[in-house]
Structure 1
């Protein structure tokens, strides 16, 4: 009789076990804001100078293909690379304004991490833009523009708001920050993001 009761109890618990969440707060992710954004979005805080960010770009590209309904945002942080940090931050914003970010981000990453030729000034950044088809006058027109200054202010505000101190930092729906060290594999990274995109 006891065996039957134990078996019945086990069967009753089985649906509860299967309904347990695949990922847990405090393990794969941390709640960093009380309210999630109303739209599906994934934000990557990054720096061109960061080797982990360079290695991470193929995963972000695959993520974009895997969750086409989500808006993928990139926020360049200024605190890596000393004086170069703010320059690279402006470089990203300029690429966005000139609508060449898809070409320039791989080019800047490649020059820094594969070619080992880190640009040391805005003039050297400009040379990368020109080498990738951007008119010098177009670059000059945006690099110190009011629009770019506003974008940089927003980048800094977001970095401070989420207390970002390392890169890459991934935030889903403006509420959940991934604990990258706990995720363990590329496939789990995608699944955690998908899970959080579906969360409240």
Structure 2
């Protein structure tokens, strides 16, 4: 009789065991805000000078392909690259405003990390834009514009609000920060993001 009761309880508990979450708070992710965003979104805080961000870009591109319904945001931080940090931050914003980010981000990453040519001034950044099809006048009209100043202020505010101190930092739904060192593999990265997108 005891064996039958034990077997019955085992059957009852089996679904509970199977329902245990695959990923755990404090291991693969950390809760950084109480309330999640209303829309499914993933935000990457990055820097063009960060080698890990450069290596991470193919995963972010695949994530966007894998989850086309999810909004993928990028926030450039100013605190890497010394005096060029804020300049590169503005470069990203300018690329977004000029609708050439898809060309300029790979080009800037490539110049810094593959060609080993670190831009040393805004003129160097302008040259990258021009080399990738942007008219010099278009760049000049955007780089110090009111619109770009507002974007930079928003980038800084988000960086401060999420207390970002390193890159890449990934925030899912404005609530969960991935612990990148605990993810382990590319496939687990995608699964953690998908898991957190469905979490409350």
Q: Do Structure 1 and Structure 2 share a fold, with TM-score over 0.5?
A: yes
Following superposition, the deviation at residue 14 of structure 1 comes to 0.2
Aligned equivalent of 2:185: 185
Following superposition, the deviation at residue 5 of structure 1 comes to 2.5
Deviating more after overlay: 123-132 vs 10-19? 10-19
Aligned equivalent of 2:15: 15
Gaps of at least 5 residues in structure 2 are none
Following superposition, the deviation at residue 3 of structure 1 comes to 2.7
Aligned equivalent of 2:28: 28
Q: Provide the rounded CA distance (Å) in 2 between the counterparts of 1:5 and 1:38.
A: 46
**1:156-190 superposed Cα distances (whole Å, 9 cap, x missing partner):** 00000000000000000100000111110000100
Q: Provide the rounded CA distance (Å) in 1 between the counterparts of 2:13 and 2:28.
A: 25
Aligned equivalent of 2:197: 197
**1:129-148 superposed Cα distances (whole Å, 9 cap, x missing partner):** 00000000000000000000
Q: Provide the rounded CA distance (Å) in 1 between the counterparts of 2:144 and 2:138.
A: 11
Aligned equivalent of 2:127: 127
Aligned equivalent of 1:89: 89
Gaps of at least 5 residues in structure 1 are none
**1:77-131 superposed Cα distances (whole Å, 9 cap, x missing partner):** 0000110100000000000000000000000000000000010110000000000
Q: Provide the rounded CA distance (Å) in 1 between the counterparts of 2:135 and 2:197.
A: 39
SS in 1 for 2:171: strand
Aligned equivalent of 1:99: 99
Aligned equivalent of 2:80: 80
SS in 1 for 2:167: coil
| 1:95-174 correspondence to structure 2 within 5 Å | 95-174=95-174
SS in 1 for 2:95: helix
Instruction: State the 4+ residue runs in structure 1 displaced beyond 3 angstroms.
Output: none
Following superposition, the deviation at residue 21 of structure 1 comes to 1.2
Q: Provide the rounded CA distance (Å) in 2 between the counterparts of 1:177 and 1:57.
A: 18
Following superposition, the deviation at residue 22 of structure 1 comes to 1.3
Aligned equivalent of 1:6: 6
Q: Provide the rounded CA distance (Å) in 1 between the counterparts of 2:7 and 2:118.
A: 65
Deviating more after overlay: 4-13 vs 49-58? 4-13
SS in 2 for 1:82: coil
Following superposition, the deviation at residue 198 of structure 1 comes to 1.1
Following superposition, the deviation at residue 24 of structure 1 comes to 1.1
Q: Provide the rounded CA distance (Å) in 2 between the counterparts of 1:42 and 1:63.
A: 10
Aligned equivalent of 1:66: 66
Q: Provide the rounded CA distance (Å) in 2 between the counterparts of 1:28 and 1:111.
A: 33
Q: Provide the rounded CA distance (Å) in 1 between the counterparts of 2:8 and 2:121.
A: 71
Following superposition, the deviation at residue 20 of structure 1 comes to 1.1
